[in-house]
Amino acid sequence: MSDSNLPDNNTESFRLQHYLAKCGIGSRRTNEQYILDGRVKVNGQIVNTLGTKVNSDDKVEFDGNPVKFEENLRYILLNKPTGYVCSLADEKGRMVAADILKPHYSERLYNVGRLDMFSSGLIIFTNDGDFTKKILHPSAQIEKEYVVETSTNIPEELVKKFKKGMRIEGVFYKCQDAQLLNTRKIRIVLIEGKNREIRKVFDEYRLGIKSLQRVRIGNIEIGELKDGEFRELSNKEVKQLLEIGEASGNSN
């Protein structure tokens, strides 16, 4: 899917973090941190004040490179293999999921949410900061479904407690749903998805995870995508995903 992202009026002004989002640099929240870190210049001057207004006549730079509005918005669904990190770059030299897409797209794409290095499955890449903000907003309540396979049997107690809610080292974890597929395989649906939530719950029960795969994000399922394969989301899929998030937000 692609769509025009150019402003209708060249003199239209935007908050700097919003402008950067429309240039495909990152989500608004991420861009706010970039601004605070002094990585953004406007007309040759470092700007670290949030809310600064700019328009298309201003020269905006990120890390010394000029940025401009993305002409086409991209929404890419990747089946991330294990061993890849979800980051634009990695200081440890590990493989980066975004690099799988770089040979195929000229736009600067970044991941919407994360999967840890040892997990596989669905993750969306985009250059649409507004889309990212809406999808990641806590009120969106978009379901993410995982299939987990363990090296030993999964106790029924884990399923019951995870669905009811449990506290580990002061953090409360609760899944939307959990269902045993067999003695060593389970389907888990999360909404909030705290950092490494599934792994921490399974560690509490001393369960070794053989594989952890995300198989669904909202209305989008993994289908026939193999490890490392990707496809563009359709207009309908993007619209439905946003509608799910908006409906959840309105119901809260």
Query: What is the dotted CATH code of the domain comprising 143-217?
Result: 3.30.70.1560
50 within 8 A of 8, measured Cβ to Cβ: no
- Token pair recorded at residue 62: 């990120």
Read off the pLDDT of residues 153-209 as tens digits, 9 standing for 90 and up.
Answer: 999 999 999 999 999 999 999 999 999 999 999 999 999 778 899 999 999 999 999
Instruction: Find out if CATH 3.30.70.580 is the number for domain 75-139+220-251.
Output: yes
The letter for the amino acid at 11 is T
pLDDT of residue 6: 45
Region of poorest pLDDT, from 7-16, 40-49, 152-161:
7-16
Average of pLDDT values for 63-80?
89
CA dist., res. 54 & res. 36, Å (int): 16
Which DSSP string corresponds to 48-77?
A: --TT-EEETTS-EEETTEE----SB--EEE
Among 166, 221, 218, CA closest to 194: 166
Phi, psi (5° rounding) for residue 17? Answer: -65, -35
pLDDT of residue 129: 81
Domain ranges of the chain: 13-66, 75-139+220-251, 143-217
Domains 75-139+220-251 and 143-217 share a fold: yes
Using the Cα atoms of residue 20, residue 26, residue 30 and residue 35 in order, give the sign of their dihedral.
Answer: negative
Catalytic residues: 116
CB burial string 166-205: b at 16+ within 10 A, e below: beeeeeebbbeebeeeeeeebebebeebeeebbbebbebe
Query: What is the dotted CATH code of the domain comprising 13-66?
Result: 3.10.290.10
Read off the pLDDT of residues 79-94 as tens digits, 9 standing for 90 and up.
Answer: 999 999 988 777 788 8
The letter for the amino acid at 21 is A
pLDDT at 75 over 90: yes
Region of poorest pLDDT, from 9-23, 26-40, 53-67, 201-215:
9-23
